[in-house]
């Protein structure tokens, strides 16, 4: 039986990135905090300052809070807004990837390392060179290489980078022009830098045409997650202002990805953000909603439910 109650109720948590390390599920979420600020489209109300790591023996079991593992005051380059993180394991070390605004207010992606999955994590002194925007998702492709997918519209500043330089008030296309894409870069063997310049993860419709900017029910907004199932790469993400969790598939981690459908309709609260993980042969969707706070969009709670595939590899749609 899946639980739809919040997994964590002593803190507000969001944006859960779940991974199986040493047979246990480790959850790397954002840590939502109370704010005095009015809500706006740039997400100033998401003023998070630290991360906690959580673990479970099983997705249906109790959760252990391993405490604060990284605080913005310990990240030399960062000023505020520690948004959705992700984590990876390679060659005996754990890597925590996290976005934050730098001292100029521009989102960058940083890395912090640990010898344990539950941290604490020690940040690198500088963000990843050439990084920008938010919502890092790190994954290992079938060839053994690690990649970082990332990007988020509006407050996440993805639309500010279309010229290659930061343009503060830039807007994304909302007409028949192709929608903006999430980005992907291969990581260096030490996991600390981009080995390749970020490139577009193109998402097309069934006829191979890139999704249009006007197609807000399907186009990419934020929160990319990549997983491999039966030799196919699944790129799932949030459509942002239309609040869907949707997915697209490809035979290559670099795409192009073909849009497949929605697997989670809008949850209570503005944002929707997730991860998909396999544990002991069963698949699980970790996501958040704002039910515990009665719908306050910046006081969210992580949840989990089992995910099923149909025989053709499509993800069976779920209800939050």
- Positions in the binding site for ligand FUB (CB under 6 A): 14-15, 30, 46, 83-84, 134-135, 152, 222-223, 271, 273
The rounded distance, in Å, linking the Cα atoms of 101 and 17 is 20
Nearer to ligand FUB (CB atom), residue 258 or residue 271:
271
Length of the chain: 320
CB of 273 to ligand FUB, least distance (A): 4
CB of 30 to ligand FUB, least distance (A): 4
CB of 92 to ligand FUB, least distance (A): 29
Nearer to ligand FUB (CB atom), residue 271 or residue 293:
271
CB of 271 to ligand FUB, least distance (A): 4
Nearer to ligand FUB (CB atom), residue 84 or residue 258:
84
Nearer to ligand FUB (CB atom), residue 30 or residue 258:
30
Contacts of 1 (CB under 8 A, 6+ apart): 60
The rounded distance, in Å, linking the Cα atoms of 289 and 141 is 30
Catalytic residue among 15, 32, 86, 135: 15
CB of 227 to ligand FUB, least distance (A): 17
Contacts of 92 (CB under 8 A, 6+ apart): 115
Query: Buried b / exposed e across 181-220, counting CB within 10 Å, b at 16+?
Result: bbbbbbbeeebebbeeebebbbbbeeeeebbbbebbebbb
Closest to 275 measured CA to CA, from 88, 130, 143, 132:
88
The rounded distance, in Å, linking the Cα atoms of 16 and 94 is 17
Catalytic residue among 32, 86, 222, 289: 222
At residue 281's C-alpha, the angle toward residues 60 and 139, to 5°, is: 95
Is residue 113 within 8 Å of residue 62, measured between CB atoms? no
Rg of the chain on CA atoms, in Å? 18
Query: Buried b / exposed e across 107-121, counting CB within 10 Å, b at 16+?
Result: bbbbbbbbeebbbbb
The rounded distance, in Å, linking the Cα atoms of 88 and 114 is 10
Active site residue 32: no
CB of 114 to ligand FUB, least distance (A): 22
Active site residue 222: yes
Nearer to ligand FUB (CB atom), residue 70 or residue 258:
70
Nearer to ligand FUB (CB atom), residue 39 or residue 65:
39
Closest to 228 measured CA to CA, from 143, 318, 134, 316:
143
For the annotated catalytic residues, the residue numbers are 15, 222
């Amino acid at each position: 039986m899946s639980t739809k109650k919040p997994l964590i109720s002593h803190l507000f948590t969001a944006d859960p990135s779940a991974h199986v390390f040493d047979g246990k599920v480790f959850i790397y979420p954002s840590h939502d905090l109370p704010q005095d600020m009015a809500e706006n489209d740039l997400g100033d109300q998401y003023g998070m300052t630290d991360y906690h790591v959580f673990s479970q023996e099983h997705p249906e079991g109790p959760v252990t809070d391993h405490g604060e593992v990284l605080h913005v005051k310990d990240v030399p380059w960062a000023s505020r807004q520690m948004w959705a993180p992700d984590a990876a394991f390679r060659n005996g070390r754990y890597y925590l990837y996290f976005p934050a605004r730098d001292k100029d207010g521009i989102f960058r992606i940083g890395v912090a390392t640990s010898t344990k999955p539950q941290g604490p994590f020690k940040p690198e002194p500088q963000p990843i060179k050439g990084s920008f925007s938010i919502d890092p998702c790190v994954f290992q492709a079938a060839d053994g290489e690690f990649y970082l997918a990332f990007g988020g519209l509006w407050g996440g500043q993805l639309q500010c980078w279309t010229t290659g330089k930061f343009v503060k008030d830039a807007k994304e296309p909302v007409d028949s022009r192709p929608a903006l894409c999430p980005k992907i870069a291969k990581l260096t063997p030490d996991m600390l830098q981009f080995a390749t310049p970020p490139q577009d993860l193109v998402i097309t419709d069934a006829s191979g045409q890139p999704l249009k900017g006007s197609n807000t029910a399907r186009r990419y907004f934020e929160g990319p997650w990549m997983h491999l199932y039966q030799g196919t790469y699944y790129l799932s993400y949030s459509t942002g202002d239309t609040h869907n969790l949707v997915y697209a598939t490809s035979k290559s981690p670099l795409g192009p990805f073909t849009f497949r459908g929605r697997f989670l309709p809008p949850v209570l609260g503005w944002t929707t953000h997730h991860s998909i993980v396999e544990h002991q042969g069963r698949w699980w969707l970790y996501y958040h909603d704002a039910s515990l706070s009665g719908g306050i969009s910046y006081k969210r709670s992580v949840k989990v439910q089992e995910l099923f595939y149909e025989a053709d590899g499509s993800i069976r749609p779920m209800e939050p």
